[in-house]
Amino acid sequence: MTKQRKRLGSYEKHIIKIVRCSDEEATVVEEIMRNDIFHSTLDWQTVEEFETGAREAYAVLKEMREFGTLPESYQRILETNPQLAR
């Protein structure tokens, strides 16, 4: 049985273009943007704010991985891609 890939939303697609990350990383970056960067939905952000937020959130994701502080919920998302599992 093949695993079906999650359909990407428009925010995730835009994040991938901005930071050149995997689909799974884009999902986590979007969550970090909502929960930690903007503390809000993303539809209120200008294009510039969104792009800056995506870069900042991706840096946060890399830092969490480096220091071993990645929340379990984010780990589960990333584990769907064997190349990203740690």
25-67 pLDDT, tens digit per residue, is 999 999 999 999 999 999 999 999 999 999 999 999 999 999 9
Q: Could you write out the three-class secondary structure of the chain?
A: CCCCCCCCCHHHHHHHHHHCCCHHHHHHHHHHHHHHHCCCCCCCCCHHHHHHHHHHHHHHHHHHHHHCCCCHHHHHHHCCCCCCCC
Q: Residue 67: what pLDDT?
A: 96
Q: Give yes or no for residue 1 having a pLDDT over 50.
A: no
Q: What is the mean pLDDT of residues 66-85?
A: 87
Percent of the chain with pLDDT over 70: 91
**Mean pLDDT across the chain:** 91
